[in-house]
Structure 1
Amino acid sequence: DMTSERQAMVEDIRMQGVRDERVLEAMRRVRRHVYIPAAMRGRDAYGDHPCPIGFGQTISQPFMVAYMTQRMEVTPGMKILEIGTGSGYQAAVLAELGADVFSIEIIPELAQHAARVVRAEGYAVQVKAGDGYRGWPEEAPFDAIIVTCAPAEIPEELVRQLKEGGRMILPVGTGVQQLIILERTGDGFREIPDIYVRFVPMVKR
């Protein structure tokens, strides 16, 4: 079941500066290769790079998944909205950490694939096919929102669905993208600029 490959991947992530032991343990436990559709599963499912999953989408680089997860400061029972389910891998890592995960994917085939795999792997993640710009108002507010595709600017509707004191992490920009951490405060929100990244663009329906 590729345990040694996962162990090597985790050591690589640690070398790159992810220090949260709970995050590293979750990365060690979630079987990344099963989230990559069988037809595209190469020999290198645990290399530190994105892998194609079809429909022009990718499963994110393991370091980026670990880094964004660490920045979310996930605690058990936390209610998290994910925009851009993709393969379902990031959602599984959040669920492994004990979060209550709601995930939206705009490509129906990917939403179905992800929902099937996370369930088969034993995670209670709720996945729906839909437009991420709308969020999931019926389930709002959320303790945290993680966006794994890049909008040109911060979607206001998502900010509205964040609980006071909650945080959102997302890549923003066209061409050059920067990870932004947004914290909702009593009278608005504050933005903390973070590292430069490269994600697929966030598309509208």
Structure 2
Amino acid sequence: MVYLNIDFEEHQYEQGDAPDFNREQWLQTKDTLGLKFPNLPYLLDGSLKLTETNAIMKYIAHRYGPELLGGDAATIAKVEMVASVVGDLKGQVTMPCYTSGDRPAITANLLQKVKPIVNFLGEKKFLVGSDVTYVDFTLFEMCDLMNWISEGQLFEQNPSLERYYQRVKSLPRLSEYYADDERCMKRPFNNKVAKLNN
């Protein structure tokens, strides 16, 4: 939304501290919003009420920046393919942060699992070519998480991925937003209940 220069209001719900990790902030609100499938994140845009990350990202792209979906059928298909692969990677990296918290094991796994994405990226400017698409924002966020988990090994072992990350980070409006610690929450990556958190 920042990249597309869309005005928005963000609501964050904070999980309580240990030992019970209370979720009352969200639980008291979720059934009052008129969401068909109450979940985080959610988007309220006029009468439209959406949940699920991918549905929200695609809706925003369709409505405000269709170019973020890809230009032609082949590019759109590649964007969808890579979005699925990046989504799988996100699950494989995030879930162990909650279950085991074993940083060395998570690091070893993510360094292995990211290789096909790095190979697919090659030296392209963005994931599917010379134009940014919505999946670039997902991978950008994942790079932040994976580089933190791996304590810098992700970018040390994959310099082309670091160059890609810097390109996305320097996109118009995104660079200013990312530099603003008041507006852009960079950490924590995971909820308080996660065993690997910061």
* Pairwise same-fold verdict (TM > 0.5): no
Pair member with larger Rg = 2
Higher strand share: 1
Tell me the TM-score normalized by structure 1: 0.29
Higher helix share: 2
Tell me the TM-score normalized by structure 2: 0.29
Higher relative contact order (Cα pairs below 8 Å, separated by 6+ residues): 2
